Structure 1
Amino acid sequence: MTTDPTAARGRAYVDRYAHLMNKVPEITVYFWLIKVLCTTVGQTFADYLDRTLGLGLTLTTIVIGAAFLVALTLQLRARHYVPWIYWLTVALVSVFGTLITDNLTAGYGVPTSVTTPVFAVLLAITFAAWWKAERTLSIHTIRTPRREAFYWVGVLFTFALGTAGGDLLSEQMGLGHLATVTVFAAAIAVVAVAHYGLRLGAVVSFWLAYVLTRPLGASIGDYVSQARHAGGLGLGTATSVIFLGTILSLVVFLTVTRSDVTADDEYDTESFLAEAEAEAHTCHH
């Protein structure tokens, strides 16, 4: 019995990249809930380190940046989607993205009216490069190192952009935290209607919602944590504790139930085989 050399070569490609399947969770209500909570923590925890503990923006950025790199290394080395590693990385990139914007605004005096379009352009460039290299922006196909690299660069810019956009409305334009929450919640509702009612593409809908949940979560965090005289509820640092506890509970739940993991029988082996061979061909040249 002879072995088809093409099939054997294809199987070798699959074996080579199999450890990179399912690096991103399924998009469920749990995904969006934890995402918003992570963005809220990103805002409140950055403020806690910077102002309450008095570390300052520079030292806070260094500490969080180092922690983010450690978490990202764990995520990149993981052989599949692991809830606690993935969401730890998201939480830390949320804080780090917030600090990038805060450093530009508070440290260098760059107004959010400038940083918002700049980060929007950087995100667009990331998506354009990702599309040119991979011909897809779908998070259901984060199966190779290059795609995962594009994914995390894109995620970082969404957090920086969301922070800048949220601060632009709430602070520079003077809308206040609660009004900003309403604006971005309405924007997300528009995206949902466009997707489910007008058949806006799933990939476009996802990334629009992903960007918009950042300023939504940050504005919620500011509203809940800020003092009453500043227009908030005055919970202070308790906000981070409450939301971190909720995130931890949800991550434990997902780890046990695997509710956000794609079943093996839903996996399109033929598509992956074609993608893996194309990836290997590209790397070879």
Structure 2
Amino acid sequence: MTISATRSYPDWLNKVPQATLLFWIIKMMSTTVGETAADYLAVDLHFGLIGTSAVTGFLLACALLFQLRANRYVPALYWICVVLVSIFGTLITDTLSDLLGVPLAVSTAAFSIAMIATFAVWYVREKTLSIDAIDSPGRERFYWAVILFTFALGTAAGDWVAEGLNLGYANSALLFGSLIALVAVARYAFKVNATACFWLAYVLTRPFGASCGDLLSQPATSGGLGFGTIMTSLLFLAVIVSLVSYLSFTQKRPALQRAL
């Protein structure tokens, strides 16, 4: 599935990748890794939610610093940031629900409001929400802020549907996968706005990937297939590394010439 706005800028001006089929495959897998890796670090390695959040948050801050300072799109650096955002966003929601007792429905609503507010400020300041125009420091900061909210929102919504509403992991994955398919139909059959479709799909791939991750990793007694968090994380990480390595050789762009 390729969902992207009409390009009005030279391709190399953007600090983020095009929304190609490979983009969506890696994005979905990164959400799965975010779910399983967060569980593995917090539970299996006994780091706890606070310890795992602190370590992951520090690594994410370092990765984003390098990403923001880079003068061109670097596939490996970009996707490292996405994977870390996925893990950190998962931990934010888990901390709110597991440690602070915030209901998943409340978290879902709160993150939705935060994301919409960020979009509103972004649009007022930059007059566009298109991923084809991430060509300035301000736009890139808005982009990553929205990305973080989409992962936290997706985690809350996915857990709410699968666990809070007792749909189960398989049914939850089917539900969110169907919604993604509807977004694709809306875009290509009915020509709905490309930017809106992109961000809708971006939000929905988070609970879809998380549901798939839980389905694969959780024991059969909990409705999963029992592959475990380690095996699931390693498998998806291997695929992500392979695909990003391929992109690193095929999507090289010139350095971005702009004032910082």
Class of the TM-score when normalised by the shorter of the 2 chains = over 0.9
Which ranges of structure 1 fall in alignment gaps of 5 or more residues? 1-17
Among 96, 101, 107, the alignment partner of 1:109 is 101
Correspondence for 1:256: 249
Correspondence for 1:98: 90
Among 163, 168, 192, the alignment partner of 1:171 is 163
Q: In structure 2, how many angstroms separate the alpha carbons of the residues matched to 1:63 and 1:82?
A: 24
Q: How many angstroms does 1:195 deviate by?
A: 0.6
**What's the secondary structure of 2:190's corresponding residue?**
coil
Q: In structure 1, how many angstroms separate the alpha carbons of the residues matched to 2:136 and 2:105?
A: 36
Q: How many angstroms does 1:262 deviate by?
A: 7.1
Q: How many angstroms does 1:22 deviate by?
A: 2.0
**What's the secondary structure of 1:197's corresponding residue?**
helix
Q: In structure 1, how many angstroms separate the alpha carbons of the residues matched to 2:88 and 2:243?
A: 22
Among 148, 160, 177, the alignment partner of 2:152 is 160
Q: Deviations over 1:252-284 (max 9, x none)?
A: 0011122xx6799xx9xxxx9xxx8xxx9xx9x
Give the root-mean-square deviation of aligned CA atoms. 2.0
Correspondence for 2:121: 129
Mapping 1:1-285, distance limit 5 Å: 21-236=13-228, 237-258=230-251
- CA 1:199–1:262: 2 relative to 1, 3 Å: farther
Q: How many angstroms does 1:225 deviate by?
A: 0.3
**What's the secondary structure of 1:128's corresponding residue?**
helix
* Identical counterparts, % of pairs: 50
> When the two structures are aligned, how many residues end up with a matched partner?
249
Question: Is contact 1:71–1:85 with CA below 8 Å preserved after alignment?
Answer: yes
Question: Is contact 1:22–1:262 with CA below 8 Å preserved after alignment?
Answer: no
**If you compute each CA radius of gyration, which structure gives the higher value, 1 or 2?**
1
Amino acid paired to 2:240 = I
Q: How many angstroms does 1:84 deviate by?
A: 0.4
Per the normalisation by structure 1, the TM-score is: 0.84
Amino acid paired to 1:109 = G
Per the normalisation by structure 2, the TM-score is: 0.92
Q: In structure 1, how many angstroms separate the alpha carbons of the residues matched to 2:238 and 2:172?
A: 25
Question: Is contact 1:21–1:79 with CA below 8 Å preserved after alignment?
Answer: no
Q: In structure 2, how many angstroms separate the alpha carbons of the residues matched to 1:165 and 1:208?
A: 13
Q: In structure 2, how many angstroms separate the alpha carbons of the residues matched to 1:193 and 1:251?
A: 27
Q: Deviations over 1:50-84 (max 9, x none)?
A: 10001100000000000100110110011100000
Which ranges of structure 2 fall in alignment gaps of 5 or more residues? 1-9
